[in-house]
Amino acid sequence: MGWGDETRTLTQDINTSHELRKEALKQLQEDTRTSLTQTDAELREMGTQLKADLAKVKVTMAKEETERAGQARADLKQRQADVKDITDQVAKLLSELDAAREEMSIRLKADLAKVNPELAQAEVERVRQTGDKLREMVTQIHAILEKVRPDLSQAESERARQTEAELKEMNSRLKADLEKVKVTTAKEETVRVKQAQIAIKERVTAVNELLGEVKAERGKAAAAWLELVNVMRAETGMAAPPVAEPAKEEAVAEGESVERMPETAALSDQVLAYLADHPDGTRMTELEDKFGIARIQMARFLKGLMEENKAEKRDMLYFAI
């Protein structure tokens, strides 16, 4: 196979590799966009679900509080009705006693009219004693009723006060529980948002690193191809082809960036020392912020350290060896 065929084959391989990288980059962009869309939809759905759950909790608490208040009012009415029944029964008993006493008095008077005068005085005394006993009984009943009535009233007042205090305490507990639910929901929502932001940032960092690697590989391939063409033309005695203007500008830009960078060996040692001080691993963004160097330049230093077996990369973290 001649130089022309080998060159053509090499060119085709380079173009095929470039197309494959473009397809892989395009697929990665689509996957990232899909992931971001799904994350946003999940966050929205999560917020909607949390709001719906909170609304259900509020409705349930309000319903339970209404039911408890209604039950307390029903209990209070029932106790008031019981007190009224007791009062009515006592009044009825007193009325029956008065009627019985009046009836007894009438019967005694009729009997006294029939008995002889010798028994009249004794009967009158007996009637008087019976009347005194009846009056004493009525007085005792009134006294008992007067004692019971304040106790019943005080008991009802105390019961009403306790019921009202229980309702207030229950309302306070429900409000406190609702506030705790709100705080917990807000914290969980904040944690989920932060986690989503971290995941998105990591994906963007991965895409940027891949783009940097693609760009570096493309520059190397272009330089190798240009060197090969120059060698071939030098051997065949043909003039070197003109260098494309964009490649020249890129080379100048890279030269200017190298002039602005610190001494290469010293900076590599500093980066390696920083990795050694962080055994748990360091991200690319941390190194950029620490040394104030662009991502593409920091990637070159890290690549050099990895080629020298002084550093390694696991997932998104860099470690010193």
Torsion 105-110-115-117 (CA) sign: positive
Q: Per the domain annotation, does 47 fall within a domain?
A: yes
Q: Summarize pLDDT for 246-269 with one digit per residue, the tens.
A: 333 333 333 333 333 445 778 888
The answer to whether position 232 is within a domain reads no
150, 181, 206 — which closes off a domain? 206
pLDDT band at 6 (very low <50, low <70, confident <90, very high): confident
What confidence category does residue 311 fall into, taking pLDDT thresholds of 50, 70 and 90?
very high
Whether 51 and 199 share a structural domain:
yes
Does the pLDDT at position 227 exceed 80? no
| Residue among 258, 271, 276 at smallest CA distance from 302 | 271
184 with 253, same domain: the answer is no
Q: Flag whether 31 is in a domain.
A: no
Are the beta carbons of 300 and 256 closer than 8 angstroms? no
Q: Model pTM?
A: 0.25
pLDDT in tens, 291-301: 888 888 889 88
Predicted confidence band of residue 155 (pLDDT cuts 50, 70, 90): low
Higher pLDDT, 241 or 190: 190
The confidence band for 91, taking pLDDT boundaries of 50, 70 and 90, is: confident
Residues 198 and 254 in one domain: no
Q: Which residue has the higher pLDDT, 100 or 254?
A: 100
Query: Given a cut of 80, is residue 226 above it in pLDDT?
Result: no
Residues 185 and 249 in one domain: no
Q: How far apart are CA 160 and CA 83, in angstroms?
A: 14
Same domain, 191 and 308: no
215 is a domain residue: no
Which of the listed residues 181, 206, 231 is the one where a domain comes to its end?
206
| d(C-alpha 205, C-alpha 143), whole Å | 92
Is pLDDT of 142 > 80? no
One domain, residues 177 and 253 = no
Alpha carbon separation from 244 to 72, 95, 235, 283 (Å, rounded): 91, 126, 22, 36
φ, ψ (nearest 5 deg) of residue 319: -130, 145
Contact 299, 284 (CB under 8 A): yes
Q: Is 278 helix (H, G, I), strand (E, B) or coil?
A: coil
What CA–CA distance (Å, rounded) separates 68 from 174?
A: 12
Half-sphere exposure of 122 (CA within 13 A, CB side): 5
Q: Which tokens go with 104? A: 């007894």
Last residue of a domain, one of 143, 177, 206: 206
Count of positions (residues) in the chain: 321
Residue 311's beta-bridge partner residues? Answer: 320
pLDDT reported for residue 252: 32
**Band (272; pLDDT cuts 50, 70, 90):** very high
Alpha carbon 106 to its chain centroid, in Å, reads 86
The answer as to whether 307 is a domain residue is: yes
Say whether both 145 and 268 belong to one domain. no
- Taking the C-alpha atoms of residue 291 and residue 301, their distance in angstroms, rounded to an integer, is 12
Gyration radius of the chain over CA positions: 51
- Are residues 274 and 202 part of one domain? no
If one compares 100 and 153, the residue with the highest pLDDT of the two is 100
* pLDDT for position 166: 82
Q: In terms of domains, do 199 and 258 share one?
A: no
Is residue 296 in some structural domain? yes
As a whole number, mean pLDDT of residues 98-117 equals 75
Residue range 44-72: average pLDDT? 87
Domain count, the chain: 2
Q: In the predicted model, what is the mean pLDDT of residues 23-29?
A: 89
Output the pLDDT for position 21.
Answer: 86
Please tell me which of 71-75, 113-117, 171-175, 201-205 the model is most confident about, judged by mean pLDDT.
Answer: 71-75
Do 200 and 107 lie in one domain? The reply is yes
Residue 217 is assigned to a structural domain of this protein: no
End-to-end CA separation in angstroms for the chain: 45
Examine the domain organization and report whether 180 and 253 are in the same domain. Answer: no
Average pLDDT score over residue span 55-80: 86
- pLDDT surpasses 80 at 82: yes
> Rounded CA gap, 37 and 35, in Å?
5
Asked whether the predicted pLDDT for residue 19 surpasses 50, the reply is: yes
CATH number of the domain encompassing residue 260: 1.10.10.10
User: What DSSP line would sit under 105-124, residue for residue?
Assistant: HHHHHHHHHHS-HHHHHHHH
Residue 165 falls inside a structural domain: yes
Q: Which stretch of 55-59, 65-69, 170-174 has the lowest confidence by average pLDDT?
A: 170-174
Of 158 and 267, which is predicted with more confidence? 267
Give the model's pLDDT for residue 143: 75
How far apart CA 301 and CA 177 sit, in angstroms, is 56
State which residues form the domain around 279.
244-320
Do 191 and 272 share a domain, yes or no? no
